[in-house]
Homo-oligomer: A and B are copies of this chain.
Amino acid sequence: MRWSQMYAPTLRDDPADADAASHRLLVRAGFVRQLMAGHYSLLPLAVRVRTKVVDIIREEMGRIGSQEWILPAMHPAEIWQRTGRWEVMGDEMFRLKDRKGADLALGMTHEEIFTTLAHELSSYKQLPQMWYQFQTKFRDEPRPKSGLLRVREFTMKDSYSFDLDQAGLDRSFDLHHDAYVRIFARLGIPAIPVQASSGSMGGSASVEFMSPTEAGEDLVVHCTACGYAANVEKATSALPAVQDPDGLASPEPFDTPEARTIEELARQHGVPAEGQIKTLVYVVDDRLTLVLVRGDHSLVEQKLIDATGATAVRPAQPEEIEAALGASPGSLGAVGVTGLTVLADEALRGRRAMTTGANRDGVHLRGVDVERDIAVTRWADFREVVAGETCPNCPAALEVVRTVEVGHIFKLGYKYTETLDVTVLGPDGSRIKPIMGSYGIGVERAIASVVESHHDEKGIVWPVSVAPFEVVVVPIGKNDEETTKVVEDIYEQLRADRVDVVLDDRDERPGVKFADIELVGIPYRITVGPRGLKEGVVEVVSRATGETTRVPVADAARTVAGLVAESR
């Protein structure tokens, strides 16, 4: 390919509305354009990258024996109604009617449709089956943003496994887990596998693959020493044991007219936050509930949901709190409270000499012994892990990283084969329901995630595996016969070696060309100019390291082809 024949509209300036680095750079470097919020056109450079990403995923799916299908993107409502997800999906599902008035959905995912196809399986001998597709998914995101990271229309590689029993599912799940680890490694995405909750999918277990990025909306607690990783909604940490003084025989009220927050109490009365009890009031499935955490800790609402099994939780309104406790937020506490559920975080267990609100405005209690003075209904882990706390599995300090989900794998269990009534004949002649897994990677989000972790101030730094071109050959200086000949020779040799190469034949100054090449992010640049040729050399520049090497003309193509082959 010659650059002059290629439509790659680079922009001088960052787009005004771009927050994420990948958004900014993919627009500036001429890879994507927005049609409307959440819908992007992929330009030729992006299609080249996407093709390589798809090929890598396809290869790894083939390697574990998964077979490629393509299912419709538009579905009859009826199938979604049978599994109950016509309702569950709510506003996130795009719905429409056809000319005859039939209700239709645009596929957000394809559990229902693949399960319908599994009706044709007749015998346990046909199991396991692993099926996948690359197909457009439509999701009416409430806030599409960050370029390709959070969109309403995208390509998903979604896979589904059907097994005879739990051991089979475990095996299919592990095969996908390992394939995903290989895929993300090959794409250059530093994805962290994290235990996660299954959400609307149902099922017993799931692992999310999370890629660090400042544009992410999910916090992951991660130990680089032992590999422990968990979503902040599930993560725990080890806290140093606290030796409290004996304290008072019973709690003692004291006036705190100006102290309504943990910080004010600490500043005005010298009570450190870790010596305070934070009393939060929630409505958990219509039931007013006190949740106690240490003053310097934060509650994770998901942990409250998980611990109680509640379907709806919300902070109580001031009126509800006033009615139940007789005081306003700022002076609340659980000492002496009866008739309400009191949930306490494990970090409060055994603590004495603590301070908390007295349920009288402007008054707190000190000398509180939590287990002695508070009728705790239930102890559990409710607090949010903070960076620097100790890993629960090893002595290292935890990191908390902002991430985006790049893959998600689920053990679905029997939910879909049950509701859609799929069975096969078992070895003993009985009907057996296959057990399912599902596994997804968003292709365009993967592209953006590569950019999130591979860029610098000059532009994108593609890994060779997914770069739109592996090498660019650039003639500079006056276009004399010798330069042209050397350039064309190197270009043709690289093509013959099956290197994905572009010849920058544009009539532009070297500075303009180099800036575009760095912005677009091509891994290797071979610069051919009269000055070097006088000494029989060309310049090879690595985009990733910036390293420049002078290479004899005759060796240039072979040397660079070697560099490329090494890092493919």
Contacts and interface: CB of A to CB of B under 8 A. Distances in A.
Contacts of A140: 98-99
Contact of A35 (B43, B95, B113): B113
A226 interface: no
Contacts of A46: 70
A44 interface: yes
By CB atoms of chain B within 10 A, which of A36, A46, A136, A152 has the most? A36
A116 interface: yes
A227 interface: no
B69 A153 contact: no
Contacts of A3: none
Given A35-B113, A140-B99, A41 B6 contact: no
A47 B99 CA distance: 30
Interface of A: 5-7, 9, 33, 35-36, 39-44, 46-47, 50, 65, 67-76, 91, 94-96, 98-99, 106, 113, 116-117, 120, 126, 129, 131, 136, 138, 140, 142, 152-153
Contacts of A42: 69-71
A72 B153 contact: yes
A7 B69 CA distance: 10
A63 to B, nearest CB: 12
Contacts of A50: 70
A6 to B, nearest CB: 7
B41 A129 contact: no
A44 B40 CA distance: 29
A422 to B, nearest CB: 14
A227 to B, nearest CB: 33
Given A35-B76, A73-B136, 8 more contacts: A6-B67, A7-B126, A39-B74, A41-B117, A44-B68, A47-B70, A96-B96, A99-B140
A55 to B, nearest CB: 11
Nearest to A40: B72
19 contacts: A7-B126, A7-B129, A9-B120, A33-B120, A35-B75, A35-B116, A36-B75, A41-B70, A41-B72, A42-B71, A44-B67, A46-B70, A50-B70, A72-B153, A73-B73, A94-B98, A95-B96, A96-B96, A99-B140
A499 to B, nearest CB: 17
A42 B131 CA distance: 12
A535 B79 CA distance: 57
Given A7-B131, A9-B120, A153-B74, A69 B43 contact: yes
Contacts of A36: 72, 75-76
Contacts of A47: 68-70
A103 to B, nearest CB: 11
Query: Which 4 interchain pairs have the tightest Cβ spacing?
Result: A96-B96, A39-B72, A42-B70, A44-B67
A492 to B, nearest CB: 17
